[in-house]
């Protein structure tokens, strides 16, 4: 009798032990439903998704060590991982992201990146994952719109859906993502305007919206984003003037506005700011280049090519502390190119296709 009780007790303990250390069956079921929506023919990463304990050696799945709830899904189609080395190829996956993923209520990061073939939409229920910090779906074929209530994700720091086929507008609620640091919407088919309340994103440091169909003015409110260091609005359909205030931002170092329909004058503030990479190429900027360069002007890239700039290259450009790559070609500039030590490395192509520029590295002035 004693032995019998002992055996039962041990068996109970053992089974309790197993369930405590394994992921909850509901999380396991949600992962399997998520997996069922996908097809990964070359690497076999889902072969590891077997057994009861989804916290144990399921490729790309990590659980919270205390709660055993699934915390991270990290599936990257381009990686140095052993599976990839063995297969001598990058990943390819088709299928869709199942809404079953939303049952993993404790998810903190969802990275399903660079699989090239995953299509379908971002499940709208994703905005109910209130613990989510990272949502990275770069490099797939995802279509549809960014969920309109994405702003509910108050802990989200990274939203990266670049290189997909997303349409629709930037949802107004995006501005409620009060923890957002990194926003990457590049190379999609997103249209509409930038919501004016974007200035509310006080934690944002990179805003990359290049290669979409976004139109309208660049909202001045962007300059309220104190920590913004990298703003890329290139290759869209923005029009109107470039706000002066962009040149007064505390840490803005990269400003790419090339390939839009921006007009009006070149704000003087941009030439004497913290900005060191400035590309305004292929717009319709007119007037002259402001004569405001000074020791604070330090440019790795200053590309003003393909605009409607007139007048001469200002003398003050010689007092800039550095300009690594300068391009003022394809404008209507005229007159003598000023001399500066760092002009030595510049080639004629930086100045070509203007009305009547002359002097080194072009032909001598008459
Ligand atoms: C500036 O933008 C134009 C147009 O998008 C691009 O062709 C050019 O390479 C960019 N300039 C530099 C120096 O990157």
Q: What is the pLDDT of residues 37-94, one digit of tens each?
A: 999 999 999 999 999 999 999 999 999 999 999 999 999 999 888 889 988 989 999 9
pLDDT value at residue 7: 45
**Structural domain boundaries enclosing 235:** 69-358
Sheet holding 93-96, edge to edge: 38-39, 93-96, 116-119
* CA–CA dist 354, 332 (Å, integer): 5
For range 194-211, the mean pLDDT: 97
Q: Which atom number of ligand 1 is nearest to the Cα of residue 235?
A: 5
Residue pair 348/362 in contact (Cβ under 8 Å)? The answer is yes
Q: Which atom number of ligand 1 is nearest to the Cα of residue 327?
A: 13
Looking at the domain assignment, is residue 336 inside a domain? Answer: yes
CA 173, 74, 178 angle in degrees (round to 5)?
Answer: 25
Q: Is the pLDDT of residue 327 over 50?
A: yes
Q: Is the pLDDT of residue 286 over 70?
A: yes
Stated as kind and residue range, the H or E segment containing 12 is helix 2-21
192 or 21: which leads in pLDDT = 192
Which residue has tokens 């203007």? 354
298 token code pair: 């330090």
pLDDT value at residue 208: 98
The total number of structural domains that make up the chain:
1
Q: Is the pLDDT of residue 10 over 60?
A: no
Q: Which atom number of ligand 1 is nearest to the Cα of residue 234?
A: 5
Residue 218 Cα, ligand 1 centroid: separation in angstroms?
A: 19
Residue pair 215/193 in contact (Cβ under 8 Å)? The answer is yes
Residue 40 Cα, ligand 1 centroid: separation in angstroms?
A: 37
For range 129-141, the mean pLDDT: 98
Residue 258 Cα, ligand 1 centroid: separation in angstroms?
A: 7
pLDDT value at residue 65: 94
Q: Is the pLDDT of residue 293 over 90?
A: yes
Tell me the backbone φ, ψ of residue 271, rounded to 5 degrees. -90, -5
pLDDT value at residue 340: 81
Residue 281 Cα, ligand 1 centroid: separation in angstroms?
A: 6
Looking at the domain assignment, is residue 24 inside a domain? Answer: no
List, chain by chain if needed, residues with CB within 6 Å of any ligand 1 atom.
Answer: 234-235, 258-259, 279, 281-282, 301, 303, 325
DSSP code of residue 9 = H
Residue 325 Cα, ligand 1 centroid: separation in angstroms?
A: 11
Looking at the domain assignment, is residue 34 inside a domain? Answer: no
Q: Is the pLDDT of residue 249 over 60?
A: yes
Helix, strand and coil in the chain, % to nearest 5: 25, 25, 50
Of 4-18, 29-43, 271-285, 293-307, the range with the lowest mean pLDDT is 4-18
Residue 32 Cα, ligand 1 centroid: separation in angstroms?
A: 45
Write the CATH number for 294.
Answer: 3.80.10.10
Q: What is the pLDDT of residues 11-25, one digit of tens each?
A: 444 444 444 578 999
pLDDT value at residue 20: 55
Pocket test for ligand 1, best of 212, 234, 281 (most atoms within 8 A of CB): 281
For range 144-161, the mean pLDDT: 98
Mean pLDDT of the chain: 93
To the question of pTM greater than 0.85 for the whole model, the response is yes
pLDDT value at residue 22: 86
């Amino acid at each position: 009798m004693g032995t019998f009780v002992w055996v039962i007790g041990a068996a109970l303990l053992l089974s309790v032990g197993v369930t405590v250390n394994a992921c909850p069956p509901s999380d396991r079921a949600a992962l399997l439903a998520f997996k069922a929506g996908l097809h990964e023919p070359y690497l076999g990463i889902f072969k590891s998704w077997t057994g009861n304990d989804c916290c144990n050696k399921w490729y790309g799945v990590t659980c919270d060590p205390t709660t055993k709830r699934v915390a991270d899904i990290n599936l990257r189609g381009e990686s140095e991982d052993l599976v990839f080395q063995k297969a001598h190829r990058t990943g390819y996956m088709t299928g869709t992201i199942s809404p079953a993923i939303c049952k993993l209520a404790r998810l903190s990061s969802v990275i399903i990146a660079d699989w090239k073939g995953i299509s379908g939409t971002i499940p709208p229920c994703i905005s109910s994952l209130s613990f989510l910090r990272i949502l990275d779906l770069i490099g797939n074929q995802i279509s549809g719109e960014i969920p309109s209530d994405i702003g509910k994700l108050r802990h989200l720091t990274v939203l990266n859906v670049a290189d997909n086929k997303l349409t629709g507008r930037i949802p107004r609620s995006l501005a409620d993502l009060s923890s957002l640091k990194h926003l990457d919407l590049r190379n999609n088919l997103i249209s509409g305007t930038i919501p004016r309340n974007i200035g509310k994103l006080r934690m944002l440091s990179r805003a990359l919206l290049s290669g979409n169909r976004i139109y309208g003015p660049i909202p001045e409110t962007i300059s309220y984003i104190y920590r913004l260091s990298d703003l890329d609005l290139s290759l869209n359909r923005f029009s109107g003037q470039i706000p002066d205030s962009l040149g007064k931002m505390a840490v803005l170092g990269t400003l790419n506005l090339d390939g839009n329909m921006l007009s009006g004058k070149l704000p003087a503030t941009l030439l004497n700011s913290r900005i060191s990479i400035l590309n305004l190429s292929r717009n319709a900027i007119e007037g002259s280049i402001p004569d405001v360069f000074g020791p604070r002007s330090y440019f790795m890239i200053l590309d003003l090519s393909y605009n409607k700039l007139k007048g001469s290259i200002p003398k003050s450009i010689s007092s800039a502390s550095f300009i690594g790559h300068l391009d003022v070609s394809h404008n209507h500039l005229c007159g003598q190119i000023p001399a500066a030590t760092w002009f030595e490395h510049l080639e004629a192509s930086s100045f070509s296709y203007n009305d009547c520029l002359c002097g080194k590295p072009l032909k001598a002035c008459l």
